A and B are shown apart, each in its own frame.
Chain A
Amino acid sequence: MDFIRYLDPTVQFMLFSAVKIVLVFAVAMTGVAYAVLVERKVSAWIQDRVGPNRAAPFFVHYLPVVGPFLTKLGIFQPMADGLKFILKEDFTPSYVRKIYFWIAPAISCVPALMTLAVIPFGSTLGNANNPMVIADLNVGILYTFGIVSLGVYGIVLAGYASNSKYPFLGGIRSSAQMISYEIAMGMSVVSVFLVVGDLNLSKVVAYQSGGIHEWLIFKQPLAFFIFLVSAFAETNRLPFDLPESETELVGGYHTEYSSMKFALFFLGEYAAMIGASAMMVTLFLGGWTPIWGGAPASSLLVGLSHIVWFLAKLGFFMVLFIWVRWMLPRFRYDQLMNLGWRRFIPLALVNIIITAGLIALTHK
């Protein structure tokens, strides 16, 4: 690996970034596939069903104990699912608005993946000048909010392009939903940044690196709660999956989609879940820092352990997302608006004022 050292710093930076992008993308995609599996298995267990326990490629047959066990857990199911999506007929109904119909899935999927770019998912790996974040932006959180909101356009556009009533209603609901939670979400993080004093997500993590008592979830519980609930709304997860509503809208905005285009929506939803979980881990649970705290890693092994810590915390939120889905009934349209406008926005404002007041009093 010596030749890297002789390269020009810009080339080095590009090389490292490319590697990180590929890695994060691969991990996120695998994460999406297995989040779907976890979702299916958890939902099955909560509802006293069995869940996927059959799919197995031929070689599993030759593994004595491990093979049947993995098959029972459905470990091979995501591969079968992916294959199915690829092989299915991609059907475009004749009455849709073709161009919008085609770009909507991409618009809903790409932003969800792009938010991962600013998340510090680890400290360093060996080289101190090479932090484990794709883009160490100084306006990290603003970037995230800006990009994430774009995902809604994909849904609205899908609703409009499908030219049929259920997707249309789904699209309308999605836009109504967005204006109800987005403001509360934005306001809830203001108090976080009042405490930290920086918009850069790496600095937020550094602020919390002292250990579990430094985590912002304990310093800003109200902000965390509002952010958590808004994250459910943003990722269209139950109890706020109004745009999708299988029971009333037959799948809502993606009713008319099939095959890979549907898979993109699906992927977008789970990628958004991963993104939102990563945001919450970074903002409130101390990012990659272990619970006893820790400085950026000096050795490769510690660096890897930090990434594992990050993934573990991320997994916690993913399970929470999935668990809540099978627990709460869907909120009604007006209840969501009520919750967003009349409860969370005032609460977030009060939180900002109190936080600002306390900081003004204690700061000399």
Chain B
Amino acid sequence: MSTKVVDRTPLTFYERSYLPAILSGLKVTARHFLRSAKGHNTATDLSQGYYPEVPWTVAEGYRGAPYLVRDQEGHTKCVSCQLCEFICPPKAIKITPPGPEGIPSDRANAEKMPREFEINMLRCIFCGMCQEVCPEEAIFLQKDYSLTGTSREEMIYNKEKLLSLGGTHAGIQKWKHKLESAQHQEVFPVKTH
């Protein structure tokens, strides 16, 4: 039997009178009350001010809005594999693949890049699944947490906007290395553009 019976010591009369719980409760709440009354709270501790006037300083590793990133050479990293589109729980991502005759990728060796890539920020729940699933490290949850717009259309971010907001991510350049090693081994054909 893997069940372990834990002996509970019966509560003493004093404990059953609720008094110790009430007293320690008074102590804890009084401590927090006095701390706040002196003007300390999470907002003042982190950013020295309150939200609309003083935006919150986002902690490292915060998962905000997902944006597309470029590699060190300014190429689109996304290869339009659509994994993120499939995994996205609220179906916020909509990718238009290039199709058979579509535009080729803007970097060597990668086969495709999306013709259009849209994230509906009204649907996105900042869950991070897309970042988790992306085989190309092409999409990252970044630090923006307060996105506003005056219409629903405005909240659908397209590829251009996502790329410009996303910036550069100095991660691995899978296809560049593949190309280099292929060239090194003189194994062809490898698409070079």
Stretch of B1-9, B34-42, B147-155 lying at the A interface: B34-42
A327 in contact with B22 (CB, 8 Å) = yes
Q: Considering the complex, which residues of chain A in the window 46-62 have a beta carbon less than 8 Å from any beta carbon of chain B?
A: 46-50, 53
Of all chain A residues, which has the CB nearest B17?
A: A343
B32 in contact with A48 (CB, 8 Å) = yes
**Total A-B Cβ pairs within 8 A:** 34
Q: Considering the complex, which residues of chain B in the window 21-77 have a beta carbon less than 8 Å from any beta carbon of chain A?
A: 21-22, 25-26, 28-29, 32-33, 35-37, 41-43, 50
Is A323 in contact with chain B by the CB < 8 A criterion?
Answer: yes
Q: How far is the CB of B57 from chain A (nearest CB, A)?
A: 17
B32 in contact with A50 (CB, 8 Å) = no
A46 in contact with B41 (CB, 8 Å) = no
Tell which of A47, A326, A327 has the most Cβ of chain B within 10 Å.
Answer: A327
Please indicate the chain B residues that have their CB under 8 angstroms from the CB of A48 in the complex: 32, 35-36, 41-42
- Interface size classification for chain A: 10 to 19
When each residue 136-165 of chain B gets 1 if its CB lies under 8 Å from chain A and 0 otherwise, what string results? 000000000000000000000000000000
Is A328 in contact with chain B by the CB < 8 A criterion?
Answer: yes
Please indicate the chain B residues that have their CB under 8 angstroms from the CB of A323 in the complex: 26, 29, 33
Q: Which of A45, A50, A53, A328 contacts B33 (CB 8 A)?
A: A45
B26 in contact with A327 (CB, 8 Å) = yes
Given A44-B36, A45-B32, A45-B36: A50 and B41 interface contact (C-beta under 8 Å): yes
Is A42 in contact with chain B by the CB < 8 A criterion?
Answer: yes
B25 in contact with A328 (CB, 8 Å) = yes
Q: How far is the CB of A74 from chain B (nearest CB, A)?
A: 13
Taken together as a complex, chains A and B put the C-alpha atoms of A328 and B29 apart, in Å, by 10
Q: List 20 A-B contacts (CB under 8 A).
A: A42-B33, A45-B32, A45-B33, A45-B36, A45-B37, A46-B32, A46-B36, A48-B32, A48-B35, A48-B36, A48-B42, A50-B41, A50-B43, A50-B50, A323-B26, A323-B33, A327-B28, A328-B21, A328-B22, A328-B25
